[in-house]
Amino acid sequence: VEAQYTHDHLANPVILPVNPYQPGKSSSAIQREFGLQEVVKLASNENAAGPSPLARKALELVLHHIHLYPDDGGEDLKHALARKHGVSSENVILGHGATDILDIIVRAFVCPTDEIISAYPGFPWFQILGQLSGAKNVVVPLRDHRHDLQAMGERITPRTKLILIANPNNPTGTFLKRADIESFLRSVPRHVVVVLDEAYIDYVDGEETRAIKLAQKPVDRLQPVIVVRTFSKISGLAGLRIGYAIAEAGLIRLLEKARQPFNTTMLAHVAAKASLQDLHHIEKSRKIVAQGKIFLYEAFKRLRLDFVPTDANFIYVDFHRDVKPIFHQLMERGFIIRPAQETCARITIGLPRQNAGLVRALKEVLTGRGSYEKQRSHLRGLHPARRGTGSRSGLHLGGEARHR
Ligand SMILES: Cc1ncc(COP(=O)(O)O)c(C=O)c1O
């Protein structure tokens, strides 16, 4: 048995309680583990449509230059983003993903004596960042699967430095309308920086660019608001790691101080710029999600599963029983979902055939009928799963409760 050495006494004490961020399971690992030919990953909210062909072409051209450092700060992409959002490039900063931008924000603003307010369940990185900063995480439960802005406001103290809001929220997919955010911002004191993480905003009908206006022309000029966006979702560039923030120029200047040199690659710059121009790909990606959502809603209703209607590219489902066995049995059948709170999971909306396959596998798992191989020929005529007991408001209710 290997000796258990620990170097904990050397560590910055703030990192000791941190549980490293758990990404969705990788397809190749599951393929090896279960000897599967194909694995469908519906665990990380990636774009089922893949990257834009224009982005792929741009990448081929830039490959000749990767012996050079990228343009630090990515001026060309920043200009393109500024044009898209009707702001100036002084209002934009790039990061290697929204995760990097959030890290920059925390390092730029948060001291160990500060407090950070975020919601639970939420994007786990928010709380990890809080822990790493040494600040106090103030965690406010969602209400009916949505941010409880009133409760979040009530937790503000003179020490509050940041409020982190994912809109739409991960993992529940719920969306706060601009009017609600505006009235919340009016109630937030000016010593608090409000971050609106809009990783999934492009899936929300008609809300594109709305919060950007709040960042550019705040409720008043002293209201610090930062909008965070990413190319990982609708643009299908998760593997390249590129995201950005938009905010008033004075805030961006502070963030620039905390940014690593060359934090974004030239590959990411050209692919992101090409993706911005590929409106066809964006529309196609949106359509896949819109149609997949309707298909999965209907299937979940037939399976008598409760789910939260979503404004993002994933659906939060409550199985009303321990989700871990369901997660494992789906994995054996080649489908990776993301377990969330005890009985819940977050399922990314995939391509039509992936969604259909997931539903078939789910039927098998929920009815508890043997292995996938045996099941393949028995897919027709299965009875819907028993629905669990209990329901919480905010969920679409499957089964009897739906008809109450
Ligand atoms: C709310 C939220 N913000 C940010 C991210 C990460 O984005 P990126 O890939 O740009 O780091 C995710 C990814 O799942 C997310 O759900």
Distance CA 350, CA 276 (A): 22
Q: For ligand 1, atom 12, name the residue with the nearest CA.
A: 199
Q: How confident is the model at residue 17 (pLDDT cuts 50, 70, 90)?
A: very high
Q: For ligand 1, atom 2, name the residue with the nearest CA.
A: 199
- Candidate from 100, 197, 348, 349 with most ligand 1 atoms within 8 A of CB, to mutate: 197
Rounded average pLDDT over 156-176: 97
How far does the centroid of ligand 1 lie from the alpha carbon of residue 21, in Å?
12
Rounded average pLDDT over 172-180: 93
Question: Which pTM does this prediction carry?
Answer: 0.90
Ligand 1, CB within 6 Å, residue ranges? 45, 97-99, 123, 166, 170, 197, 199, 230, 232, 238, 243
| Residue 387 pLDDT greater than 70, yes or no | no
Structure tokens at 158: 């003179």
| Residue 162 pLDDT greater than 90, yes or no | yes
Secondary structure class of 318 (helix, strand, coil) = strand
pLDDT tens track for 76-111:
999 999 999 999 999 999 999 999 999 999 999 999
Q: For ligand 1, atom 7, name the residue with the nearest CA.
A: 98
Q: Can you give the pLDDT at residue 210? A: 66
| Residue 390 pLDDT greater than 80, yes or no | no
Q: Which residue has the tokens 């925390």?
A: 106
pLDDT tens track for 221-252:
668 999 999 999 999 999 999 999 999 999 99
Q: Is 335 left (phi over 0), alpha (psi -120 to 50) or beta?
A: beta
pLDDT tens track for 243-300:
999 999 999 999 999 999 999 999 999 999 999 999 999 999 999 999 999 999 999 9
Residue 370: C-alpha distances to residues 169, 330, 365, 381 (Å): 36, 12, 8, 15
Nearest to 314 by CA among 208, 149, 168: 168
Q: Can you give the pLDDT at residue 386? A: 33
Q: Can you give the pLDDT at residue 399? A: 43
How far does the centroid of ligand 1 lie from the alpha carbon of residue 238, in Å?
9
Rounded average pLDDT over 16-36: 86
Task: Please give the number of the atom of ligand 1 that sits closest to the Cα of 123.
Answer: 1
How far does the centroid of ligand 1 lie from the alpha carbon of residue 99, in Å?
6
Please state whether beta strands 193-197 and 225-230 pair in parallel, antiparallel, or not at all (unpaired): parallel
How far does the centroid of ligand 1 lie from the alpha carbon of residue 377, in Å?
39
How far does the centroid of ligand 1 lie from the alpha carbon of residue 199, in Å?
6
Mean pLDDT of the chain, nearest integer = 89
DSSP state of 182: H
Structure tokens at 332: 């054996």
Rounded average pLDDT over 335-345: 94
How far does the centroid of ligand 1 lie from the alpha carbon of residue 257, in Å?
22
Nearest to 163 by CA among 179, 173, 150: 150
